[in-house]
Chains A and B, each alone.
Chain A
Amino acid sequence: MITESSVITVEQDGRQATYKFLATLDELKKTGQLTRWIDDHDVLLYEYEGEIKALSNICRHFGGPVGYHKHKDGVFTCLWHNWTFSCKDGSCTSHPAYPLRQYALKVVDDKIYVDLLG
Chain B
Amino acid sequence: MKTFLLTAKFRAEMDCPKEVVMWNYYDHEHLVGTHYKYYNATRVLAERDDWSLVVRGKRMPLLPFYTSGIGFQYMDGNTMKSFHQDTIGFMLEMEAFFEDLPDDRCAVTVTYRIHAHPIFKLFDPFFQKLFKKWFWATWEEDAPMRLRRWKVHQLGFKDFSGIEYVNKKQPRPEHIEAGKYEFIPPVKKSSPIRTTEGIERPFDSSVELGYADR
Interface residues of chain A, those whose CB is within 8 Å of chain B, are: 31, 33-37, 39-42, 56, 58, 60-65, 67-70, 72, 77-83, 95, 98, 101, 116-118
Cβ 8 A contact of A101, one of B30, B167, B190, B206: B167
Pair B160/A70 contact, Cβ less than 8 Å: no
Pair A82/B33 contact, Cβ less than 8 Å: yes
Contacts of B202 in A (CB 8 A): 77, 82
Pair A34/B30 contact, Cβ less than 8 Å: no
Pair B159/A40 contact, Cβ less than 8 Å: no
Pair A33/B157 contact, Cβ less than 8 Å: no
A interface: dominant SS: loop
Pair A69/B163 contact, Cβ less than 8 Å: no
Which 7 A/B pairs are nearest by Cβ-Cβ distance? A70-B207, A63-B152, A60-B162, A69-B206, A35-B212, A81-B33, A80-B33
CA of A26 to CA of B208, assembled, Å: 19
CA of A72 to CA of B166, assembled, Å: 25
CA of A116 to CA of B32, assembled, Å: 33
Given A61-B190, A81-B30: A98 and B166 interface contact (C-beta under 8 Å):
no
Size bracket, chain B contacts: 35 or more
Residue B29 CB within 8 A of the other chain:
yes
A116 to chain B, nearest CB (A): 8
Q: Which of B46-54, B103-111, B169-177 contacts A (4 or more CB under 8 A)?
A: B169-177
A36 to chain B, nearest CB (A): 6
Pair B208/A68 contact, Cβ less than 8 Å: yes
Cβ 8 A contact of A37, one of B160, B170, B210, B213: B213
Residue B145 CB within 8 A of the other chain:
yes
Contacts of B208 in A (CB 8 A): 68-70
**B206 (CB) vs chain A CBs: closest residue:** A69
Pair A81/B29 contact, Cβ less than 8 Å: yes
Contacts of B210 in A (CB 8 A): 68
Cβ 8 A contact of B166, one of A81, A101, A118: A101
CA of A18 to CA of B101, assembled, Å: 41
Pair B169/A41 contact, Cβ less than 8 Å: no
